[in-house]
Structure 1
């Protein structure tokens, strides 16, 4: 009876594993944030909750961001509570995508690398447009971060994989 010992993981493989884990954690944080947004949006679907939020914003005393507050109040009133169902559904859809990406990357699944490349890459043109049209440093940082993730994942995904050896 022979015991099989796991093969040592090469240093580059361990680095890739750590990189994928970091990206998976980033995806998990985004998933949790989107679920929170969805829950909040679904609660605003109810007229009384929506009215409480608008009332709270109207009476909030902020001196530095007063114009932003009123812009938000007017936008919310224009939208009305019914639009928040759509916002909640979109947030949940993105949360499901990010959760799938993160779980697959955490488990080191090859399909997850390509899935993340496609999903993240499809948003880069929109992010680029947003940076150009309405520049701010956060949008630029998100764009740079997503492009870095894309480059990293493509480099990992195109590397040859060792063939699985069937156990005897």
Structure 2
């Protein structure tokens, strides 16, 4: 349980950083500085990735980063609640994590099938492992309680 709680905390921290960056990029000046910096970055090996990122940012514009920041904050809050509940070994947190993580597995599977990457596959497999482990734990402890009564 503690390992899953730490995993959820790491995801929360990562999303808080994304939100902070997104809220800074909603200002046109910061946004233009980032695009300018990326355009002038001299990394030969990452040229294609860099230009795709510049194109994506330019297409989005600074206004959309507020929405990105709000979504990142919402997910950070969700993962933080899960993590704290799991750290405290609360049964509701186990069920909450099973449901929340389980609902995302089909979307993650779709992403892996349509835009494969090792990172996407690792996240999918880790989330499936979390769901299976928590289901076994919750159902096992529930059966033990039922036998005790």
Report TM bin, short chain: over 0.9
Provide the aligned C-alpha RMSD in A: 1.1
**TM-score relative to the length of structure 1:** 0.84
1:42 and 2:23 matched: yes
Q: How many residues align?
A: 144
- 1:63-142 equivalent positions in 2, closer than 5 A: 63-142=44-123
Q: Any stretches of 5+ residues in structure 1 without a counterpart?
A: 1-19, 164-168
**TM-score relative to the length of structure 2:** 0.94
Structure 1 equivalent of residue 33 of structure 2: 52
Structure 1 equivalent of residue 12 of structure 2: 31
- 1:136-155 equivalent positions in 2, closer than 5 A: 136-155=117-136
Give the match's secondary structure for 2:127.
helix
Structure 2 equivalent of residue 10 of structure 1: none
Based on CA coordinates, which of the two structures has the bigger radius of gyration?
A: 1
- In the TM superposition, residue 67 of structure 1 has moved relative to its aligned partner by 1.2
Q: Distance in 2 between matches of 1:90 and 1:48?
A: 22
Q: Distance in 1 between matches of 2:48 and 2:90?
A: 48
Task: Please list every run of at least 4 consecutive aligned residues from structure 1 whose deviation after the TM superposition is greater than 4 angstroms.
Answer: none
* Larger fraction in helix: 2
Give the match's secondary structure for 2:111.
helix
* 1:74-115 residue CA offsets vs partner (Å, 9 max, x unmatched): 110110000000000000000000000000000000000000
* 1:137-157 residue CA offsets vs partner (Å, 9 max, x unmatched): 111111110000000000111
